[in-house]
Chain A
Amino acid sequence: MGLSELLSTYGEKYLQGLLATWSMTAVSFVFVMMLAVLVTVARVSPYRPLRVVGDLYVQVFRNIPGVALLIIIAYALPELRIVLDWRTCVIVTTILLGSAFGSENFMSGINTIGVGQIEAARSLGLTFTQIIRRVVIPQALRTTVLPMTNLLIAVMLTTALGSQVPLSPQELTGVVSYVNTRATGGILAFLVSALCYVGTAFVISLVGNRIDRKVRILR
């Protein structure tokens, strides 16, 4: 099957797949960021139970394979009378996995600041909220631009889990297996999807690098 034939028959499917991957990635990443902030706040809070839960959350979702989590959410939760539609299942899986890594990024961002700066800020008479707002958050955000760019790409790659459930419209990986069960798509069928992924990742890292160069703190 040539490229023109492939695209004329399945071109629309690929386009829908690309849009599905993009939209799931975007929605997931917004929630990943919010949840990562919440988990990180819990992990640095002075309340021990919250710290323990936050650390446990990160360990669990950092180490669980994506497929295992998706299967639990998609097939085990309905038995506990929690039924989500397929798309939501994939997005929730991606959010849970991504936010654990996001929180780790924030934590190492906080850790690069150094105890001395906090002590200096306190000796200047800054209050706790001032320290957090003026010293910790600006620096932590700047140092996490690059890791978060990589996380966004990772989130996009994680949405490929959508090929394991009957999504409609399918995302890029699902489209390929759809095409190949119907026709002999060959290497080309894969290359189209792969280039969509690689191209998106390329643009994301280009933008991420540019932002990083602008805000990076030279030490």
Chain B
Amino acid sequence: MSAARTLSMRDALYEAPGPRTRRRVRIGTAVSAVVVLLAIAAVVRQFWVTGQLAPRYWSLFLQWTTWRFLGQGLLGTVAVALTAGAIALVLGLVLMLGRTSGVRPLAALCRVVTDFFRGVPSLLLIYFFFFVPAQLGLKLPSFWMLTLPVALAASGVLAEVFRAGVNAVPRGQVEAALSIGLSRGKTMRKIVLPQAVRYVIPSLIAQLVVVVKDTTVAYVVSYPDLMQNARVLITSYDALVSLYLVIAVIYILINYAINKASVAVANRTGVKIVR
């Protein structure tokens, strides 16, 4: 879905307006603008009357140390997200290959595993890695207590993304490859996968958003990510509202950038985003 098409469809719904409609649209625009401004004013007023705009809540953002500490947290987030993303990439590919292998028991097993990780909230998986290894006497570092469940949750989704990519490769190519004597494995490796991966690159990038979101519960396993470091700052500065809002904006901007990158890659390579 490209932005240009969205706009054209939006505009196609309306006829070229005559003078009367134009006036009506202008009035509607003015009214809605006033409503939006009033809503914003109400929010700002609520901040004002509850004293949340007081400088003591916001001055900490002028200090270099605040940003350095948040930056360290961000590095933690990035480390977890990239590691989990890499593991999920491999695991997702393996699950998809197993499912499309044609070996019945293996395919069934991979299907169950994929559906399981897709159908379970990542929080449950995080609690699993928080409680169970400890109960079995294993000492897992907090980094892996967070990274492994996030990776497992993502691998289920990625397996489906890869499968969509494989399905998008024209069937005739597989038949042609088999008919010139390539084995099943070779057909997959040399013909299908190179194209399938190219189809799904934008979707893979977009999935990174989900991984980043999942890492925000790092405080459950007390791993120092962006959110956890923000919580530390909140207890030392007693500035809850301002810090949580700034952190939320940072996360939104990161994920927005990832989504934009995904769309940009999709546009440049000319592939539609396969979901």
Contact = CB atoms under 8 A, between A and B. Distances in A.
Interface residues of B, number: 56
Interface in A68-86: 68-69, 71-72, 75-76, 79-82
Nearest to A53: B36
Given A68-B227, A75-B240, A197-B124, A47 B29 contact: yes
Given A65-B212, A65-B251, A164-B217, A76 B240 contact: yes
A185 interface: yes
Contacts of B1: 107-108, 111
B119 A63 contact: no
A9 interface: no
Interface residues of A, number: 65
Contact of B121 (A44, A64, A173, A187): A173
Nearest to B22: A46
Given A68-B227, A198-B120, A46 B241 contact: no
B127 A177 contact: yes
Contact of B9 (A80, A115, A185, A198): A115
Contacts of A207: none
Nearest to B242: A76
Given A47-B25, A113-B9, A198-B116, A59 B241 contact: no
A65 B213 contact: yes
Given A65-B213, A67-B217, A72 B248 contact: yes
A111 B5 contact: yes
Contacts of B124: 160, 172-173, 176, 190, 193-194, 197
Q: Which of B124, B128, B255, B256 has its CB near the most chain A CB atoms (within 10 A)?
A: B124
B241 A80 contact: yes
Given A107-B6, A128-B14, A68 B251 contact: yes
Given A68-B244, A108-B1, A197-B121, A128 B13 contact: yes
Secondary structure type dominating chain A contacts:
helix
Q: Which of A82, A113, A163 has its CB near the most chain B CB atoms (within 10 A)?
A: A163
A153 B115 CA distance: 12
Interface stretch (B45-53, B82-90, B193-201): B45-53
Contact of B127 (A107, A113, A176): A176
A67 B247 CA distance: 11
B102 interface: no
Contacts of A136: 13
B28 A47 contact: yes
Given A76-B241, A81-B50, A131-B13, A63 B251 contact: yes
Interface in B78-134: 115-116, 118-124, 127-128, 131-132
28 contacts: A43-B10, A44-B10, A45-B28, A47-B25, A49-B35, A66-B216, A67-B227, A68-B244, A68-B247, A68-B248, A79-B52, A81-B50, A107-B1, A110-B9, A113-B9, A115-B8, A128-B14, A136-B13, A160-B121, A160-B123, A163-B123, A185-B135, A187-B132, A193-B124, A197-B119, A198-B116, A198-B119, A202-B119
Interface of B: 1, 5-6, 8-10, 12-15, 25, 28-29, 31-33, 35-36, 46-47, 50, 52, 115-116, 118-124, 127-128, 131-132, 135, 209, 212-214, 216-217, 227, 240-241, 244-245, 247-248, 251-256, 259
Given A67-B216, A76-B241, 13 more contacts: A45-B28, A62-B255, A64-B248, A65-B255, A66-B213, A67-B227, A80-B47, A111-B6, A131-B13, A132-B13, A176-B124, A185-B131, A202-B115
In order of increasing CB-CB distance, the 4 nearest A-B pairs are: A160-B121, A63-B255, A201-B119, A198-B119
